[in-house]
Structure 1
């Protein structure tokens, strides 16, 4: 697909994702701008939850699904980030067993260094393979909904409002899930509960 009539990237700075997606409905090659903007971040998020090969597949499938669904994108939302992370999270859900297996395998590994820091800042790491074993075990024990909400905040750096849009749930539910997940992780890791801000 020739992209020669797309403007240089610098000319697209400040152009909303919504306007690019709208244009891509008639000129499909424009969707490559969305791919270029977000592929690395989506891949990093998938890699924080799955093995590298599956993460590659999920990242690619996210953009294929997004391209297929672009006619249904809500153009009142200027940023496509929550939408793309929602698609990726749904795809990761299809690999839930693989995700849990990975966390359990990591959880069996020896070592507890820096566990408390990991418990508070869950996934500042770029891949699941770098998770502390105790934290991995704690993540495996969370419900799917709590884990999704927590990792969208911690790994994808989404606000609670963006997580709500990604998961199609109320913002208050996001706060409840993240708070519950953090408390359970701290309990699993043997640390006292902390007050947690529910406002994201």
Structure 2
């Protein structure tokens, strides 16, 4: 175990060392929070909105703190673990997420999709795309939506997404391939997430 006293600010410690050290010195866990809370908040806010996201972050780190002794110390980066917890916590807010996506989807019907001057479907603006994406997200299963958003919004690799969701990386690849095909069909060939098959 790395002593927190040797590196009082924790700056040189990877996530695994912080978690390991926090079993003896719980205050070290605050450094893990400082390192990752903003990122988890942004992900939760995109899925649920700002107010529920604050509750999600608090719950994620409470669960992480309580279960830190079970953390796989061979994993130096705790992001996949934290995103896995966040995914489970967000699933408890599924009604909120569905309401948010349905509200955004209604905007798709009210607002025409914006194209560039050449009319290229590849140049749909982010503002015009968001309601259409929300409409598609509502049609995906929870497992499909969780995987897609962990890779697209949290920028996890396939391996990291597999860790977060507790599934084999082969399942991640095949499931994501099917989900991307669904999204592309629904958007007339556009892949708004820009996910390359080699990602991960």
TM-score (norm 2): 0.83
Name the SS of the counterpart of 1:75 in structure 2. coil
Task: Name stretches of at least 5 consecutive residues in structure 1 with no aligned partner.
Answer: 120-124
Match of 1:174 in 2: 172
Q: Which has the larger radius of gyration?
A: 2
The 1:64–1:192 alpha-carbon spacing in structure 2 relative to 1, beyond 3 Å, is: closer
**Structure 2 CA distance for partners of 1:182 and 1:149, relative to 1, 3 Å:** same
Q: Is the 8 A contact 2:152 2:195 kept in 1?
A: no
1:12 corresponds to: 11
How far apart, CA to CA, are the structure 1 residues paired with 2:26 and 2:129? 39
Distance in structure 2 (CA, Å) of the matches to 1:62 and 1:145: 19
Q: Residue in 2 aligned with 1:33?
A: 31
Instruction: Give 1:195 deviation, angstroms.
Output: 10
Match of 2:197 in 1: 197
**What CA RMSD, in Å, does the superposition of the two structures yield over aligned residues?**
2.8
Partner of 1:80: 78
- Provide closer, same or farther for how the CA distance between residues 146 and 48 of structure 1 changes in structure 2, counting only shifts above 3 A: same
Q: Give the Å deviation of 1:189.
A: 2.1
Whole-angstrom CA distance in 1 between matches of 2:128 and 2:105: 11
Q: Deviations over 1:7-32 (max 9, x none)?
A: 564x623x211111111001100000
Task: Give a deviation string over 1:63-109, Cα, whole Å, max 9, x none.
Answer: 01100111111111111110000000110111112111111110010
Gaps of 5+ in 2: 116-120
Check whether the contact 1:118–1:132 (CA below 8 A) recurs between aligned residues: no
Contact 2:105 2:134 in 1 (8 A): yes
Verify the 8 A CA contact 2:114 2:128 in the aligned structure 1: no
Structure scoring higher RCO (CA < 8 A, sep ≥ 6) equals 1
Structure 1 stretches (4+) deviating beyond 3 angstroms? 5-9, 114-119, 192-196
- Structure 1 length-normalised TM: 0.83
Paired residues, number: 187
